[in-house]
Amino acid sequence: MDFNLSEEHLAVREAARDFAQNQLFPQVIERDNAQKFDTELLRQMGELGFMGMMTSPEYGGSGMDTLSYVIAMEEISKVDASAGVIMSVNNSLVCWGLEQFGNEDQKQKYLTQLAAGKIIGAFCLSEPEAGSDATSQHTTAVDMGDYYLLNGTKNWITSGNTSSVCLVIAQTHPEKGHKGINVFIVEKGWEGFSVGKKEDKMGIRASDTHTLMFSDVKVPKENRIGEDGFGFKFAMGTLNGGRIGIAAQALGIAAGAFELSLKYSKERKTFGKPISEHQAIQFKLSEMVTKIQAARLLVYQAARMKDEHKDYIQAAAMSKLYASEVAMWVTTEAVQIHGGYGYVKEYHVERMMRDAKITQIYEGTSEIQKLVIARELLK
């Protein structure tokens, strides 16, 4: 594995870091408190190419590789994990899924706008009784000839209210099990499509998370992605790539908390000297940076394997499992290093600790990642 980054990768890192520090950082606490992301920032992210990084320029994207994407994700998430998850869903799940599996008409109509950041997309898989178990879809799509009749409820949907287009997984042929599932492109505003309550979350509070409800929504046949029964394969394929994005988000949260802790340790004095000169703090900082670098290498490896069209399922699960655990551990230590100041919003690490927890849950819990890794080992 080549550990050196190209000039292009370094340029991506610099651009993402500049945007994160100069545009995202100033109001990050206010957005967290208000539980609302700034639409102007979303527009800027689109103009900078962050919303369709891996999408071909032919469809409005930046045409970059997965490694560029995770490098940018890390820098964005160092400052604002809410921006990171909005970016992750739009890139890894919505744009990537449409470009890989959608037809030309679907790409021209929807992908061109999504990749350019002109509109935001949502990925609708989770249900009240079907989270990680994608085979147990209670949302139904009945074939009515020229259209499907969509009924059901999806929850924990990132950008559920701000999105204009949703990719909805639904069961069409219950007797066929997972082979009877389809995926549909559903537009906000269609009759019968309503947005439910906004979740009052512990972390990533600036990204809106909603329940979405479908009551006799007529979905045109041309809005089905792939052949009849392709939905389960679509969901699994996109989630495998999505894990790399969440791993990069977790990596960014950990790295951001470490950088703040390192800076604070040099400034904060106890017993007449900076706390960075105390061995107990040095031990914490040393272990933090070691774990972060190990997580970064796992994330980069998964990204490179994806770019090289290798089987990256196990690598993606490993990177997501480890990076999310590192994020939770590092942010907890960051709060400890900051002491009482770490417990207040002004110093940022308490928000990062809250944000870190979700990375262990979405795109499959840590236990799910272990099952994926074991399945790949044993097959």
Query: Average pLDDT of 334-342?
Result: 97
Q: Identify the three-state secondary structure at position 1.
A: coil
Record the tokens describing residue 310, joined without a space: 């290798």
Q: Exactly one of 99, 127, 350, 363 is catalytic; which is it?
A: 363
Q: Identify the three-state secondary structure at position 136.
A: coil
- Residues 43-82: tens digit of each pLDDT: 999 999 999 999 999 999 999 999 999 999 999 999 999 9
* Pick from 95-109, 134-148, 205-219: least confident: 134-148
- Residues 155-181: tens digit of each pLDDT: 999 999 999 999 999 999 999 999 999
- Residues 96-134: tens digit of each pLDDT: 999 999 999 999 999 999 999 999 999 999 998 776 677
Q: Is the pLDDT of residue 282 over 70?
A: yes
Q: Burial, 1: exposed, middle or buried (Cβ in 10 Å; 0-12, 13-18, 19+)?
A: exposed
Count of other CB atoms within 10 angstroms of residue 203: 22
Q: What is the DSSP letter of 200?
A: -
Q: What pLDDT is attached to residue 379? A: 87
Q: Identify the three-state secondary structure at position 196.
A: strand
Q: Identify the three-state secondary structure at position 257.
A: helix
Report the candidate in 21, 9, 62, 19 with the shortest Cα–Cα distance to residue 300: 9
Q: What is the DSSP letter of 153?
A: E
Query: Average pLDDT of 141-151?
Result: 97
Q: Is the pLDDT of residue 363 over 90?
A: no
Q: Identify the three-state secondary structure at position 68.
A: helix
Binned at pLDDT 50, 70 and 90, residue 4 comes out as confident
Q: What pLDDT is attached to residue 2? A: 64
Q: What angle do CA 3, 8, 89 make, to 5 degrees?
A: 85
| Residues 138, 13: Cα–Cα separation, whole Å | 42
Place of tokens 């944000």: 355
Q: What pLDDT is attached to residue 205? A: 97
Tallying the residues shown for the chain, one arrives at 379
Q: What pLDDT is attached to residue 132? A: 63
| Residues 50, 310: Cα–Cα separation, whole Å | 25
Q: What pLDDT is attached to residue 28? A: 98
Residue percentage of the chain with pLDDT more than 70: 99
- Residues 311-325: tens digit of each pLDDT: 999 999 999 999 999
Query: Average pLDDT of 274-302?
Result: 97
Binned at pLDDT 50, 70 and 90, residue 1 comes out as low
CB 244 within 8 A of CB 321: no
Report all structural domains of the chain as residue ranges with CATH numbers, in order of start. 7-120 (1.10.540.10), 122-231 (2.40.110.10), 240-378 (1.20.140.10)
Report the candidate in 87, 84, 91 with the shortest Cα–Cα distance to residue 52: 91
Q: Is the pLDDT of residue 209 over 70?
A: yes
Q: What is the CA radius of gyration of the chain?
A: 21
Q: Is the pLDDT of residue 212 over 80?
A: yes
Q: Is 363 a catalytic residue?
A: yes
Can you state the percent helix, strand and coil of the chain, rounding each to 5?
A: 60, 15, 25
Count of other CB atoms within 10 angstroms of residue 344: 11
Average pLDDT, the chain: 96
Q: What are phi and psi of 299, to 5 degrees?
A: -65, -45
CB 234 within 8 A of CB 97: yes
